[in-house]
Chain A
Amino acid sequence: MSGEQSGAEVLLQALKEQGVEVIFGYPGGAVLPIYDGLFRQNAIRHVLVRHEQGAVHAAEGYARSTGKVGVVLVTSGPGATNAVTGLVDALMDSIPVVCLTGQVPTHLIGNDAFQEADTTGITRPATKHNYLVKRPQDLARAVHEAFIVARSGRPGPVVIDLPKDIMIGSAPYSDPPEDGHPSYRPRTEPDPAAVRRAAALLKGAKRPIIYTGGGVINSGEEAAALLGTFVRLTGYPCTSTLMGLGAVPASDPRFLGMLGMHGTYEANLAMHGADVMLAIGARFDDRVTGRLDAFSPGSRKIHADIDPSSVNKNVPVEVPIIGDAGRVLAGLIEAWEADPKAHDRAALAEWWRTIDEWRAKECLAFTQDAAKGAVIKPQHAIRRLYEMTVALGREVFVTTEVGQHQMWAAQHFRFEQPRHWMTSGGLGTMGYGLPAAVGVQVAHPEGLVIDIAGEASILMNIQEMSTIAQYRLPVKVFILNNQYMGMVRQWQELLHGGRYAESYMAALPDFVKLAESFHATGLRAESVDQLDEVIRVMLETEGPVIADIAVDPKENCFPMIPSGAAHNDMILSAATEGRAAGITDPGLVLV
């Protein structure tokens, strides 16, 4: 193309070349030339959010549910600073996002100009990488590089800061660089010797455990399929982090459910008692390990991850493997099958007998009073939502906010395939679920998209109901309303003597009226006899719905590994007192 194009046109051309179909954004002074360019083309769709944080979460929802890079466009100054929470969220959960931020013209940078912020400075620790384009000739390359960096290796968010004069002035277009990035070379192909060592170690295991995470999902559908193959091939028990749910079908009998702080009894005890552990695409997060010096003390550990800095960070491992989860799994399957030695079937059968005893505890069990007028247990609400949703046979995507409802959703909603579960794991961002649902629904117009929310979290980005209305997105918001910041309340009960400082949600809105004011349908269930009917109507309604489900305000999320405790110190039910059950003074300082 000729050099007569404006910077904004070059930007849009590069985005098209990168396969961008939709941008989540919010206009402002510094990005007006880009919006003018968007106005004059039809290839890229723009979805107007109501807050820049929502734009990034929407892009994350889009990215997680499709495997493509999510794209954000925000203005300078407050537009960029509002996006920071979303960027850190994407960084922590390894979600590929390219965020275009407007900037004041180059001659004003550093002058404290109107709506100026040091965006590259602010977002440096909030992104995988960032760019400030100060010369027109750097523009196209920066955009192409940003997409390479965002989606390859361990994915993450990339910011491109775009001064207004660069967007208005002419700029040359260039195709994506054939050599990629000059210095950035993520390693995807694992060392075959390390893979063979891992396979041999796994074959000799008597009490194996496979522990998988979001890396398997990020690697792609093939990696999840290979994981399923490996689990079936070995017959070994498998558990997953919050981020990895759906990689192995929840219905697979070898799947033990989620592990960690609110994971299942069987998953955590299997981790604790294992003699060989294969961790793949997971990062030994503190929510997973509990007390580090008591974490899986007897196991020889294999850790496969695409990010070398994730290996040996928290937990020293015997066999580190750097590479893409899919490539590692393909290598493990090959090495397993090539090794003529059989694994110890008798020991494995004995291990499964032990695990089945742990399973028999039914750690996720709860009691729902079925009498008319009885208060709804939040677990029951999720179970019914799951059962009634599955019965529809539709493709279902679930997003969540952060807190008790998120953990109950992870425990009681069962995911059979990857990319259908979108939740804020690493950063734990309240307000994630509603905008994420916007992104998922935009990517999957025919899908059933449900935001399982709490009444506190949903208020953090409630303005996105307006986006939902504008684009007629049939998102269903399922609020477990316990009138508390439930997880805060739970910790206050267990660790702070029941002093519920500021966790009661006084002056809540009428969610039915709130839904109606945003042109959506509002529903409310106040007792167990009303629950199924509300879910039925919600699922049958074509447009967006907020279903406000009044649940037991005192219900706590169990099982729970108290902070600072070991996996085998789990609290199984409310019958156990928190402080007596292994919460130590060092544990108190942990979050």
Chain B
Amino acid sequence: MGRDASLRSATISVLVENEPGILARVVGLFSGRGYNIDSLTVAAVDEAGRQSRINIVTSGTEMVIEQIKAQLGRLVPVYRVADLGREGPHIAREMALIKVAGTGEKRAEALRLAEAFRARVIDATTESFIFELTGGTEKLDAFLALVRPLGLAEVSRTGIAAIARGTRTI
């Protein structure tokens, strides 16, 4: 059997018991075994705050991705591991707060681009805007590339939240 050496990106959601140290456990697993984390988000997702969902975007060969899923599944406080891209269509979104500083034509151009990308202005001074932009990672990357020469001063991104389409649940 040959090994597929090509890399793929995977969006993995992990439903965990919300106990102290669980995030350190997951992050430590990735660093200890040399896996990549491209993005990571975590928050409690049930009413009682007992369960949290961790969304991780990672990359590796098919064998490594399968190993990551198995290693996550082996952690005692883990209920379920879902490889969202593999188990069917899914939606992934992230949010960014983007500060663009500048005056004159560049400032006006930044505002026009924001409208085109449906970014909201959530703070403004005469020399700056803060935009709130939600969407897929590629959309955020595209907007950031456009505003970079216009005075991009600072960006804060959430990392992705992801969920399967339709009635399927984790």
Partner-B contacts on A (CB < 8 A):
120-121, 124-125, 128-130, 132, 134, 149, 154, 181-184, 307-309, 311-313, 316, 318
Contacts and interface: CB of A to CB of B under 8 A. Distances in A.
Contact of A149 (B3, B25, B70, B76): B76
Given A121-B24, A316-B1, 12 more contacts: A130-B21, A154-B74, A181-B76, A183-B76, A183-B78, A307-B74, A308-B73, A309-B70, A312-B63, A313-B67, A313-B70, A316-B3
Contact of B70 (A120, A125, A128, A308): A308
B101 interface: no
Contacts of A149: 76
A183 B21 contact: no
A148 to B, nearest CB: 10
B71 interface: yes
B32 A132 contact: no
24 contacts: A120-B21, A121-B21, A124-B25, A125-B29, A125-B32, A128-B76, A132-B20, A132-B21, A181-B76, A183-B16, A183-B76, A184-B76, A184-B77, A307-B70, A307-B74, A309-B67, A309-B71, A309-B73, A311-B70, A312-B66, A312-B67, A313-B67, A313-B70, A316-B63
B132 interface: no
Interface string B53-84: 00000000001001100110111111100000
Contacts of A308: 70, 73-74
A124 B32 CA distance: 11
Contacts of B67: 309, 312-313
Given A149-B76, A308-B70, A125 B17 contact: no
B29 to A, nearest CB: 8
A191 to B, nearest CB: 16
B89 to A, nearest CB: 25
Interface in B63-119: 63, 66-67, 70-71, 73-79
A183 B81 CA distance: 12
A129 B1 contact: no
Contacts of A121: 21, 24
A231 to B, nearest CB: 26
B1 A318 contact: yes
- Closest 8 pairs between A and B when the two form their complex, measured CB to CB: A309-B70, A129-B76, A308-B70, A183-B79, A316-B1, A184-B76, A183-B17, A309-B71
B67 to A, nearest CB: 6
Nearest to A130: B21
B49 interface: no
Nearest to B78: A183
Contacts of A318: 1
A97 to B, nearest CB: 15
Contacts of A124: 21, 24-25, 28
A309 B21 CA distance: 22
Nearest to A128: B76
Contacts of B77: 129, 183-184
Contacts of A125: 28-29, 32
A225 to B, nearest CB: 28
A181 B16 CA distance: 13
A362 B77 CA distance: 50
A545 to B, nearest CB: 42
